[in-house]
A and B are shown apart, each in its own frame.
Chain A
Amino acid sequence: MTALVEGLKSIKKPFLITILIVLILGSGLPFVTSSYMLRVLNIAMIAYLCVLSVYVLLGMCGQNSFAQAGLWGVGAYLTANMTLKLGVSSVPAMIVAIAGTALLAFILGFAFFRLRQYYFTFATIGLMTILNGLFMNWTPVTGGALGISDIPPFQLFGFTADNETAKFFIIFLVCLIVNVIIKVLFHSPLGRSFMAIRDNELAADCLGVNSLLTKSIAFAISGALCGAAGALYAFLSGYLSYQTFTYQQSTMYLIMIMLGGTISPAGAIIGTLIISLLQEWVRPLQNYMQFIYGIGIMILMIIQPEGILGGGKALYEKYIKPRKRSPKAE
């Protein structure tokens, strides 16, 4: 028991310190960056939540989905409809968006996960196509091709997040909370079941892991993350268009996590930041962007299939860790 408690403590302390440092550094960001850059960061953080949803599903549970941008859209349109048409205030609307998207993912997961491995992935491609079709054509709910505009910004206790800095803090806070939740999930029996399924589904079955239910829960959690991202996006942008929630965007999330590395949420941060900032820095080259991505992904998969984080970890274990150890051994 004591060893277990110690183990948990050793995990938690550095993590809490990291969270604290990120909190302090992050809080300073709005005061040193331009409002344009802040906008870029806000959108990047929303993308980060979606990339985390891929981390839970692919990195932890080993299931690949191309429907994440669609689920993101579901969260966004739910929020827009709740606030605009039903006059619900921000927080309950966000909760409904999260719960609704999670529920949708759970039910679909229960159906889809009767299919194994890449058959699930194919099913999600179908789901993405259907969702995008709905966003484009279901005019009473999604505004059709015109989209929905004038979504009110986030409000709580009379405070309105109508400027970029306020929006930054709200999204930043949600990102931090989500990170803590993911960390707890990682060390929970549920998270271990995800990883057991990822590593060896047959063995997991033999140990009493209900793989259908467990995978559906993983999909639901990833849906909840997309739902939260969708709600935040609706508050941030105030305008939703079907052109935002596309198959390409789903692919982009996968590229982000593959670039960063699927082994931990840190990979999601690295991948999201690099791609989001890259899009800004090389804006003049935009016409060639798809080309650069394509080549970049191929090179990455050949040289370092575990992403930047995996590569960094390998280097650390090869060069730095042995040096650290040797004085002790002597």
Chain B
Amino acid sequence: MLDVKGLHSFYGTIEALHGVEIEVNDREIVALIGSNGAGKTTLLNSISGHVTKTGSIHFQGKDITKLAPHKISRSSLLQVPEGHHVFPGLTVEQNLLVGTTAEKGIRLRAGDNRELLDMVYEIFPRLLERRKQLAWSLSGGEQQMLAIGRALMGKPKLLMLDEPSMGLAPLIIDELFEKIVEINKNGTPVLLVEQNAHLALSVSERAYIMERGNITLSGKSADLLHDSRVTEAYLGKQKKEQEN
């Protein structure tokens, strides 16, 4: 479905990614794990067209390497950027409706989006309660739900989530990840960037570990959870607990 080969990304003259290769298949949740500055967000931003790069990115067999960001979004490859990027001055429902641009482009007439809205409200009932509220008044967790729901309005064929757990309380994170699994069960593959390695590995089928702009390790999440190299670097605390 998504096939990234030999990806080098640049900020000005500085090379941030050094030949990254990843792929995402149908119906999968794939996790991308790494510490701060490993290049996870750069990788997502490169795929979605926001960073200068060389290499090749194919999505559903189509070469999207050179497309502008909005064209990449319109080929149903949708990114939910890091942080809670909602439109604060728009209501929850207006926020969701902007999400339909990804599928339909710039239009003057509103189509019938009721079914899509209902689908999103079914996954996130809290958004239905707050549909007429301005987005700035939502809590952090609700804003993240809104950002994900808004991407769903564009009927994504692949959803890329950048640190959805960032800045949220543990209980909210659990709820959010249940929803992500639910969205995936409904048929949308997910590329998930996370710092919380344990959480990411427990919901995903496969995972890539990134370090300093390279993929250093990849495999089945269940195996990686018990791989000594992973446990040492990213699940350190749990390993110590096991030793004790």
Tell me which residues across on chain A come within 8 A of B56, comparing CB atoms. Answer: none
Do B114 and A3 touch across chains, with their CB atoms under 8 A apart?
A: yes
Beta-carbon contacts of A138-173 to B below 8 Å, as 1s and 0s?
000000000000000000000000000000000000
Q: Which of A196, A202, A207, A210 is the one whose CB lies under 8 Å from B151?
A: A207
Beta-carbon contacts of B19-44 to A below 8 Å, as 1s and 0s?
00000000000000000000000000
Tell me which residues across on chain B come within 8 A of A4, comparing CB atoms. Answer: 110, 112-114
Q: Which of B68, B78, B107 is the one whose CB lies under 8 Å from A207?
A: B78
Size category, B interface: 35 or more
Do A210 and B85 touch across chains, with their CB atoms under 8 A apart?
A: no
Cβ-based interface call for B213 (8 A): no
Q: How many residues of A contact B (CB 8 A)?
A: 27
Tell me which residues across on chain B come within 8 A of A213, comparing CB atoms. Answer: 106
Tell me which residues across on chain A come within 8 A of B81, comparing CB atoms. Answer: 202-203, 206
Q: Which residue of B lies closest to A263 (CB)?
A: B89
Report Cα–Cα, A3/B97, bound state, in Å: 14
Do B100 and A189 touch across chains, with their CB atoms under 8 A apart?
A: yes
Beta-carbon contacts of B97-119 to A below 8 Å, as 1s and 0s?
11111111111111011100000
Tell me which residues across on chain A come within 8 A of B85, comparing CB atoms. Answer: 200, 202-203, 206
Do B50 and A190 touch across chains, with their CB atoms under 8 A apart?
A: no
Cβ-based interface call for B87 (8 A): yes
Cβ-based interface call for B180 (8 A): no
Cβ-based interface call for B150 (8 A): yes
Report Cα–Cα, A206/B113, bound state, in Å: 19
Do B70 and A209 touch across chains, with their CB atoms under 8 A apart?
A: yes
Report Cα–Cα, A210/B109, bound state, in Å: 17
Q: Which of A1, A189, A195, A200 is the one whose CB lies under 8 Å from B109?
A: A189
Cβ-based interface call for A192 (8 A): yes
Cβ-based interface call for B80 (8 A): yes
Tell me which residues across on chain B come within 8 A of A208, comparing CB atoms. Answer: 70, 73-74, 78, 101-103, 105, 154
Q: Which residue of A lies closest to B160 (CB)?
A: A206
For chain B, residues 65 to 100, give those with C-beta under 8 angstroms from any C-beta of chain A.
68-70, 73-74, 78-81, 85-90, 94, 97-100
For chain A, residues 1 to 28, give those with C-beta under 8 angstroms from any C-beta of chain B.
1, 3-4
Contacts A189-B108, A200-B85; A210 near B68 (Cβ below 8 A):
yes
Do A195 and B100 touch across chains, with their CB atoms under 8 A apart?
A: no
Cβ-based interface call for B147 (8 A): yes
Tell me which residues across on chain A come within 8 A of B108, comparing CB atoms. Answer: 188-190
Do A211 and B106 touch across chains, with their CB atoms under 8 A apart?
A: no
Q: Which of A1, A198, A217 is the one whose CB lies under 8 Å from B89?
A: A198
Report Cα–Cα, A217/B114, bound state, in Å: 27
Cβ-based interface call for B48 (8 A): yes
Shortest Cβ gap from A288 to chain B (Å): 37
Shortest Cβ gap from A328 to chain B (Å): 16
Do A192 and B90 touch across chains, with their CB atoms under 8 A apart?
A: yes
Do B70 and A188 touch across chains, with their CB atoms under 8 A apart?
A: no
Q: Which of B48, B90, B102, B154 is the one whose CB lies under 8 Å from A199?
A: B90
Tell me which residues across on chain A come within 8 A of B103, comparing CB atoms. Answer: 208
Do B150 and A207 touch across chains, with their CB atoms under 8 A apart?
A: yes
Do B98 and A193 touch across chains, with their CB atoms under 8 A apart?
A: yes
Do B109 and A207 touch across chains, with their CB atoms under 8 A apart?
A: no
Beta-carbon contacts of A211-246 to B below 8 Å, as 1s and 0s?
101100100000000000000000000000000000
Report Cα–Cα, A210/B104, bound state, in Å: 12
Q: List 12 A-B contacts (CB under 8 A).
A: A1-B112, A3-B114, A188-B108, A189-B108, A190-B106, A192-B90, A199-B86, A199-B88, A200-B87, A203-B81, A203-B85, A207-B101
Q: Which residue numbers of B lie inside 8 Å of A, CB to CB? A: 48, 50, 68-70, 73-74, 78-81, 85-90, 94, 97-110, 112-114, 147, 150-151, 154
| Shortest beta-carbon contacts, A-B, top 9 | A208-B102, A208-B73, A199-B87, A203-B85, A210-B70, A1-B114, A196-B98, A208-B74, A205-B69
Q: A200-B85, A202-B81 are in contact. List 20 more A-B contacts (CB 8 A).
A: A1-B112, A4-B114, A188-B110, A189-B110, A190-B108, A192-B90, A193-B106, A196-B98, A196-B101, A202-B50, A203-B87, A204-B98, A205-B73, A206-B48, A206-B79, A207-B98, A208-B102, A210-B105, A213-B106, A217-B106
